């Protein structure tokens, strides 16, 4: 197993405490940032490292920071800790087991963009995480790493923990901002992008927990060290969340570009019960499903997964064995998206509902001729036609399940039952 960075200490007792973090060179990176880096130079360093957002889209972190206007104040940073994508459970581990690395990442990002007020928007169900985070923030204030004149400099920074109320859509960045503002978490049309007009209509940086947790290591070890892992366009370590039909589900921190089958077999302990692999979803539930044959040739970096027709997304690798009925699996996914649609846009509100209804009847032996075409038509009317991409996130699984496993959908309609008999 390659040496771990982000998860190196998460299994050590008391890893969440300030004392432990300080014993691991904690807060040296943020001190270094504030004392020896001009903000612009720091942005260049992060750009140069090639760090890409770990929340799903994989956008260059340094580039995102550079879009923020220099002359408008106040500006805000929001750490996205909503983590509601099915198959994704990495941010929770960082928050509960190594929260100071996230706080330190926030300090570094805020110095780079000259932000004095940050929020951590944490998923409502993460009660323990919220408590641990608040405790870690309190410890950082006591040490003078947060608050006024941090590290004895002229720089001030406050962090506020904001708990969500259990809505997946509040992980979408504009829905999240609306929720912090005190409204129902409705996404907004972009542009304007949050970097220009975000929280309270001010410039706002939104970064995922894992993205921010990488920053102290980049500062301590340098951009070249970061680039020595992964591929040229997808550098650095990535936490893969392996779930489903493997012997050892869990979190595996590996360089981007690690082969999918190596993750499943060498780290995940192989497909369970000596069964055959049928399919994988490589990047959380929104990512198109791939067949076993595609998985066998797949490297887990942004470019390679996109070239295979899917997305690396959050790194949530969902493994399905030969006993999975693909109609049932898709029905399960679509029920989630139907439930979580915020309802603002007609194609999403109705589209997810219709998909849910059609898959329900198909799954229960009442599918009709033409249902496959009807679902594909609904997906066409959802993709790219709504305020946010939740509609696309629901349509992409449908299109890919039908494309790769169409015979199972046809069999369900014709024979009123599953092809899978095990
Ligand atoms: C429906 C939906 C849900 C999302 N949920 C999350 C989430 O839980 N956590 C997250 O970091 N990003 C989530 N995102 C992506 C965010 O909108 C945003 O791109 C991300 O937080 C940016 O951080 P990054 O650049 O560090 O990846 C979601 C996007 C969509 C469309
Ligand atoms: S696409 Fe769906 S979730 Fe996104 S804003 Fe429209 S209705 Fe809401």
CA of 378 to the centre of ligand 2 (A): 15
Q: What local confidence, expressed as pLDDT, does residue 320 receive? A: 98
Residue 152 maps to a domain: yes
Q: Which of 167, 171, 187 to mutate to test the pocket of ligand 2 (most atoms within 8 A of CB)?
A: 187
Q: What local confidence, expressed as pLDDT, does residue 422 receive? A: 63
**Residue 197's CATH number:** 3.40.50.11540
Whether the model clears a pTM of 0.85, i.e. scores above it, the answer is yes
Residues 209 and 269 in one domain: no
Q: What local confidence, expressed as pLDDT, does residue 23 receive? A: 97
- CA nearest ligand 1 atom 5, residue: 171
For the Cβ of 43 lying below 6 angstroms from any atom of ligand 2, the answer is: no
Low-confidence ranges of the chain (pLDDT < 70): 421-422
For the Cβ of 348 lying below 6 angstroms from any atom of ligand 2, the answer is: yes
Residues 58 and 158 in one domain: yes
Convert the pLDDT of each residue in 256-272 to its tens digit.
Answer: 999 999 999 999 999 99
For the Cβ of 185 lying below 6 angstroms from any atom of ligand 1, the answer is: no
Q: What local confidence, expressed as pLDDT, does residue 1 receive? A: 74
Convert the pLDDT of each residue in 31-81 to its tens digit.
Answer: 999 999 999 999 999 999 999 999 999 999 999 999 999 999 999 999 999
Give the domain extent around 193. Answer: 18-227
Q: Which of 296, 321, 346 is the last residue of a domain?
A: 321
Residues 130 and 265 in one domain: no
Rounded CA separation 249/243 (Å): 5
Q: What local confidence, expressed as pLDDT, does residue 14 receive? A: 96
Nearest ligand to the C-alpha atom of residue 341? 2
Residues 281 and 222 in one domain: no
Ligand 1 atom nearest residue 53's Cα? 27
Q: Which of 270, 305, 321 is the last residue of a domain?
A: 321
Residues 243 and 203 in one domain: no
Q: What local confidence, expressed as pLDDT, does residue 276 receive? A: 97
Q: What local confidence, expressed as pLDDT, does residue 389 receive? A: 97
**Residue 280's CATH number:** 3.10.20.600
Residues 151 and 174 in one domain: yes
For the Cβ of 84 lying below 6 angstroms from any atom of ligand 1, the answer is: yes
Split into its structural domains, the chain has a count of: 3
């Amino acid at each position: 197993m390659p040496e771990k960075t982000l998860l190196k200490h998460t299994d050590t007792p008391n890893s969440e405490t300030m004392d432990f973090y300080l014993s691991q060179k904690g807060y040296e990176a943020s001190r270094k940032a504030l004392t020896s880096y001009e903000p612009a130079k720091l942005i260049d360093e992060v750009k140069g490292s090639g760090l890409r957002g770990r929340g799903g889209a994989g956008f260059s972190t340094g580039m995102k920071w550079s879009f923020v206007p220099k002359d408008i104040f106040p500006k805000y940073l929001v750490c996205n800790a909503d983590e509601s994508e099915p198959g994704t459970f990495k941010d929770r581990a960082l928050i509960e087991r190594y929260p100071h690395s996230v706080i330190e990442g926030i300090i570094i990002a805020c110095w780079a963009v000259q932000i004095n007020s940050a929020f951590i928007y944490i998923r409502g169900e993460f009660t323990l995480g919220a408590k641990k985070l608040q405790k870690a923030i309190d410890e950082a204030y006591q040490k003078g790493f947060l608050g006024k004149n941090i590290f004895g400099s002229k720089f001030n920074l406050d962090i506020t923990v904001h708990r969500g109320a259990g809505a997946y859509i509040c992980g979408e960045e504009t829905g999240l901002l609306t929720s912090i503002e005190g409204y129902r978490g409705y996404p907004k049309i972009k542009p304007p992008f949050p970097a220009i007009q975000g929280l309270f209509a001010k410039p706002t940086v939104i970064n995922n927990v894992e993205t921010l947790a990488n920053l102290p290591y980049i500062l301590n070890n340098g951009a070249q060290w970061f680039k020595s892992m992964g591929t040229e366009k997808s550098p650095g370590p990535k936490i893969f969340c392996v779930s489903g039909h493997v012997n050892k589900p869990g979190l595996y921190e590996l360089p981007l570009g690690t082969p999918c089958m190596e993750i499943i077999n060498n780290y995940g302990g192989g497909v369970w019960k000596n069964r055959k692999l049928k399919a994988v979803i490589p990047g959380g539930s929104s990512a198109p499903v791939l067949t076993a044959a595609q998985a066998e040739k797949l490297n887990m970096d942004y470019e390679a997964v996109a070239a295979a027709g899917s997305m690396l997304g959050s790194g949530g690798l969902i493994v399905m064995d030969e006993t999975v009925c693909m109609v049932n699996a898709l029905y399960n996914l679509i029920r989630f998206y139907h439930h979580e649609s915020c309802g603002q846009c007609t194609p999403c509100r109705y589209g997810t509902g219709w998909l849910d209804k059609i898959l329900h009847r198909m799954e229960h032996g009442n599918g009709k001729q033409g249902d496959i075409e009807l679902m594909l038509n609904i997906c066409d009317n959802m993709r790219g036609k709504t305020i946010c991409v939740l509609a696309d996130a629901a349509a992409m699984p449908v299109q890919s399940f039908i494309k790769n496993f169409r015979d199972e959908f046809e069999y369900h309609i014709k024979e009123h039952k599953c092809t899978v008999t095990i």
